[in-house]
Amino acid sequence: MSSDLSDLYQQVILDHNRRPRNRGRIPAANRSAHGDNPSCGDQCDVFLRLDGDRIADISFEGSGCAISMASASLMTTQLKGKSAQEAAGLYEQFHRIVTEGKEPEEMSDLGAFAGVHAFPARIKCATLSWHAALNALRGDTAPATTESHTD
Ligand code: ZN
């Protein structure tokens, strides 16, 4: 593994791969969306239990590369308890981190993904589960595919 890649696979990412959080379908889910990243072969389903405008519970299932699965796991921990608007704000922040390598202003595990910006092909891996989650929040049942996004 090159030193660049070891930077990319930081401790937070390794930890989420070893012990994925909120993995598996939540029984009381009332929203779900599928995400597909054909350029890498990543697949991800995101399940939400929405309570009004708030994400009362969230989980994911899927298979794919280390970046995509770690990102999905971390995403669930970040979005649980958040409103739809807060979730959209977090995605904007995460998107800047993975496309610009900009570390978050406040200490956040999302910063672990800053190294992804040096590997443009992996940005889709990192954002896949977020696209699925935002689709589920919007009630958009069409699968999220990274091919319809420039990022
Ligand atoms: Zn991937």
Could you read off the pLDDT of 42-89 as tens digits, one per residue? 999 999 999 999 999 999 999 999 999 999 999 999 999 999 999 999
Model pTM?
0.89
CA of 68 to the centre of ligand 1 (A): 5
Architecture of domain 3-139: Alpha-Beta Complex (3.90)
Report pLDDT for 103: 79
Residue 76, CA atoms < 13 Å, CB-side half-sphere:
25
CA of 10 to the centre of ligand 1 (A): 16
Contact 48, 140 (CB under 8 A): no
How far is the C-alpha of 114 from the C-alpha of 103, rounded, in Å? 6
CA of 67 to the centre of ligand 1 (A): 6
CA of 105 to the centre of ligand 1 (A): 26
Task: State the average pLDDT over residues 3-16.
Answer: 73
Task: Indicate the domain borders of the chain.
Answer: 3-139
What average pLDDT does the structure give for the chain? 90
CA of 108 to the centre of ligand 1 (A): 22
CA of 94 to the centre of ligand 1 (A): 16
